[in-house]
Chains A and B, each alone.
Chain A
């Protein structure tokens, strides 16, 4: 099936264009829209978005690869983003990463064979008061302990 926006996303895209004086400024939000619609952003999706915006696919690739928060095809169903910056490190985030590595049998940056989990270390997510913390897809989880991590993972559909 060719990569294409639904009616609804198309309308949303047209609305986005009205919010900016240039088409290109709508690129980041349009990528978000593509992420929602297609589940992740791969080369086909990038080409499609490039066509919509009127920039080269290379520009879109450059943009997508610059940022860390877009969902890519190689990612698992759940992206476990463990914050590892100093304030979280002072509160023991290393223990959380170690626990996840052991539990999932993967290294940081890897995805489980069943493509259920991708483990990532990320930088400060502005929740250092509730460290250690991680973001699982769009959901933040705070004050983590290995036991709490187990419960969170076990509770995922």
Chain B
């Protein structure tokens, strides 16, 4: 399936971040069209009709999320753009921010018009120093043209956008953690409900959308919901940026229709590194359950196919592993990550991620015991669904799937007190 590149059309074109460049490509015409041709409610309906689902991780229908925001104006409404991009294996929003910042800004205008939001914040991860500079320059350019500020784009609506830099914490990618952080705190997630749509930033109605989600909007407005639905699958319309990394020859971001077979995506990425046999694939960022090679080679990359394969599309970060990978070591690496990034509010998550890390450490270092498997599953049972946010689940899902699907390898570590695979490099 070929796809006319949309989000990546100007990939690596020098100067693509500049306003003149964007305007020469018909930039901001979609936002103008939205304001001219669509009453806010009608615009929400159009985005609903497009079937656009969130590209940040949860895949929630975008238009529906917007429709949950109360129509009344007795409280301010906010848009918080999730530019935290912190899910391991994901590096697509970085490209959109650094190379086409005006596409994102136009998406923001469209969202603000639809939901009648006057204040938008772009929460960008602290480590994106270059991206923050580029985005700030784009914001300044757009303000100078009157696209933002009072009577933005002549819409009659005042729309302000502010770039807000994070400071290094995975949990600020989780939407409620992001909002708490934006308010000037540690990035502690909050229990849902209430959802941000009604009680978000400063306890006011808030839309949280990912950079890639918003960057799709100008195309949907320009070409129509019906056109968008011609790409991808019935329930997962549109194209998607997949970040293919790990053991492939050409690690990169690829734009393909949702529903593209993993096999094709792997081929695009040049196949497995050194032509070695494929061993495992984490298809949707590190929080997604792992697939064996056989499972991966049969799966299509869309929300429902991956859910049917008991994993998830998540953020679109595809981590490929060849036969030289020790699965115990790989999982240990991931759990070290989740333990480090647990915000510590909930005991099952704070302690559970630490215990799992410790057990994996001893398995990896030849000190594992047979009881460790049931112990791991016990800890998982006590974490999943028992915490404020789903970071705990995000640690449990890889743990369960790695241990179950690669059980023999974990057992080898216990019995032989060493790795099954010869370690290279």
Question: Which A residues have a C-beta under 8 Å from some C-beta of B?
Answer: 19-22, 24-29, 31-32, 53, 55, 59, 62-63, 66-70, 84-87, 89-92, 95, 122-131, 135, 138, 140
Contact = CB atoms under 8 A, between A and B. Distances in A.
B334 interface: yes
Given A68-B167, A89-B329, A128-B246, 4 more contacts: A85-B333, A87-B245, A123-B86, A131-B251
B184 A25 contact: yes
A118 to B, nearest CB: 14
A129 B169 contact: no
Interface stretch (B38-46, B87-95, B189-197): B87-95
A53 B184 contact: yes
Contact of A28 (B127, B128, B166, B317): B166
7 contacts: A22-B184, A25-B184, A28-B164, A32-B167, A67-B126, A86-B319, A128-B245
A131 to B, nearest CB: 7
A126 B94 contact: yes
B86 A124 contact: yes
B94 A123 contact: no
A22 B201 CA distance: 11
B252 interface: yes
A129 B130 contact: no
A65 B360 CA distance: 27
B129 to A, nearest CB: 4
B340 A123 contact: yes
A43 B164 CA distance: 23
B interface bracket (residues with beta carbon within 8 Å of A):
35 or more
A11 to B, nearest CB: 16
B321 A90 contact: yes
Nearest to B90: A126
A49 to B, nearest CB: 11
B245 A131 contact: yes
A124 to B, nearest CB: 4
Contacts of B91: 126-129
Contacts of B235: none
A126 B93 contact: yes
Given A123-B340, A129-B252, A130-B251, A63 B185 contact: yes
Contacts of B63: none
Contacts of B202: 21-22, 25
Contacts of A127: 91, 94
Given A28-B164, A123-B88, A87 B246 contact: yes
Contacts of A68: 167-169
Of B76, B329, B425, most buried by chain A (CB within 10 Å of CB) is: B425
Contacts of A22: 183-184, 202
B170 A70 contact: no
B85 A128 contact: no
A62 B186 contact: yes
Contacts of A87: 88-89, 245-246, 317, 319
A122 B416 CA distance: 32
A125 B253 CA distance: 15
A122 B166 CA distance: 15
Contacts of A21: 76, 202
B341 interface: yes
A67 B86 contact: no
